[in-house]
Amino acid sequence: MAHYGFLGLGIMGRAMAANLLKAGHKVTVWNRSVDKCAPLVELGATVGDTPRQITAECEITFAMLADPDAARAVCSGADGVAAGIGGGRGYVDMSTVDDLTAQEIAAAVTAAGGRFLEAPVSGTKKPAEDGTLIILAAGDESLYRDALPAFEIMGKMSPFLGAVGQGARMKLVVNMIMGGMLTAFGEGVALALESGLDGEKLLEVLANGALGNPMFASKGALLLKENYPTSFPLKHMQKDLRLALQLGDRLGQPLVTAATANEIFKRARAAGHADDDIAAVYTAIHEKKCK
């Protein structure tokens, strides 16, 4: 069995690392808040002192970090990933960042003698727990092949997309579409309820027509109850929308719907829902409930 490193044990990373352990692999973990390592230690993980130590010891180290700033910070510095990588060892950053950040981290890792693969994931808490994520890989193709056994444990699909940056771009496009769909869905639910329609009946009609999809099925009940247990933190979706808009600006591609969705997510975030599930964007849509 392989010896993997895993950096970042939030909602997603904790579940992904757990699946590697349950499959029988040796896993050394690290997290800024050390207490988050405890559930994985119970499953057999060891705890590393620094990202540098883990990348120096493990043939492949995976990371699942919150945003571009966190991804860059973990890579750099005397105790960072780049300081420990070398000898052709691999670093697979599964965080959702922009393409320029992915390319910056790739340059640092390869300059230090390591191999780099970006591999952001499409999926939230339950797919991470179930090992059914979609993994969007790009970068060093030899590292992609070496990481495939782990990808097959953590996900159900892991296409190779080419050069570094393509994985980040694909993930931002996917999440931009998701954010726009969720705001439109929230507006539809709000209008239905204000019109006196039965919310459950609306969900039933949607589920059986062309608009039926897993996101509406899972989030619809949360909207009707106005209860938002976190599967995908709202602050991370707003970050992804912001990064998608920045990409659009660089390419000269108008993104009017995405820009509107971003403003709605910003409003929900400002109202105190940053750490709630993305379904909490409904609070910024159903304004009569917010006043």
Please tell me which residue in 26, 126, 156, 171 is annotated as part of the active site.
171
Q: At 286, list the tokens.
A: 């159903």
Cα distances (angstroms) measured from residue 2 to each of 29, 53, 69, 146, 280:
14, 17, 29, 10, 40
Spell out the residues 6+ positions from residue 9 whose beta carbon is closer than 8 angstroms to its own. 17, 29, 31, 36, 37, 40, 64
In 3D, which of 194, 177, 152, 138 has the Cα closest to residue 16?
152
**Furthest CA-CA distance within the chain:** 65
For the chain, where are the E strands, in sequence order? Answer: 3-7, 26-30, 46-47, 60-63, 90-93, 115-118, 121-122, 133-135, 138-139, 155-157
Instruction: For residue 171, indicate whether it is catalytic.
Output: yes
Instruction: Please identify every residue annotated as catalytic.
Output: 171
